[in-house]
Amino acid sequence: MAFLAKGKMFAAATVVAMLALATGAQAAASCGKTGAGFDAWKQDFAAEARAEGVGSRGLAALAGATYATRTISADRAIHKAFSGSVEAFMKRRGGAAIISKGRALKKSNAALFDKIERTYGVSPGVLLAIWGMETGFGASMGNQNTVSAILTLAYDCRRPDYFQPHAIAALKLVDRGTLTASSVGAMHGEIGHTQFLPGNVLKYGVGSGNLRDKSIALASTANFLKAHGWQAGASAQSNMGAIAGWNSASVYQQAIARIATAIDGE
């Protein structure tokens, strides 16, 4: 009996080990570090996208997506972009110029910012700080194919769990006509004047969700900040929690707060 018991334990252990190997192989196949497995991954992801409600236009955009090597290069260097002191970061990103132009845009778009503040309780300074920091007030919204960028990050092994919901969202935005298979944006799949990830467009985008329209982009950004705890009437420094919801990098958060304070306090 002891032998039989030991034999059964061995057999059970063998089955468990085989299952573990199979699971590991499946997990390994679910992401990649080069473009070699991207086309095969897309076929598997299409089934998931279909189950999530993605329609024919979104699935066609998925089928036509290509592995975005420039996105991967940018992603590997992202920590360097947010390194150093706040002062150094602001200098690299043109903080003084953002403040100067932000003040002028606050005056020339006073009616728009007043309407946004009445609706969402978010002051102009932080919106202008984000707008200036992200795209130079719409001057540089990116030229990377959005669907390919976000799908590449969903496939890449570094952060697939984070980007896969955004990839599904991007395909749904194609279904809606908010995006097309040829839409372009920033390297990580961000969209429009203030650089929303696709999932955030779905969740916080207002109106048509066309974030290449500055009015919609700024109102959507205010909606995002309000949803992340922005307190109307409080300073940017007092609303760091909401700013942190926008970007997790400490130097970015502090730069936005400083720029917003300078614009609103003129």
**Position 124 pLDDT exceeds 90:** yes
Rounded Cα distance between 20 and 250, Å, is 39
Which tokens sit at 260?
Answer: 């917003």
Q: What are the φ/ψ torsions at residue 95 (nearest 5 degrees)? A: -55, -40
**Position 6 pLDDT exceeds 60:** no
* pLDDT (average), residues 32-53: 96
Q: What is the pLDDT of residues 67-108, one digit of tens each?
A: 999 999 999 988 778 888 999 999 999 999 999 999 999 999
DSSP character for 200?
Answer: H
Q: What is the pLDDT of residues 8-24, one digit of tens each?
A: 333 444 343 333 333 33
**Residue 185 near residue 191 (C-beta atoms within 8 A):** yes
Q: What is the pLDDT of residues 51-60, one digit of tens each?
A: 999 999 999 9
* pLDDT (average), residues 108-135: 98
HSE on the CB side for 158, CA within 13 Å? 14
Q: What are the φ/ψ torsions at residue 210 (nearest 5 degrees)? A: -80, 95
Q: What is the pLDDT of residues 159-177, one digit of tens each?
A: 999 999 999 999 999 999 9
Task: Reduce the DSSP state of residue 85 to 3 states and report it.
Answer: coil
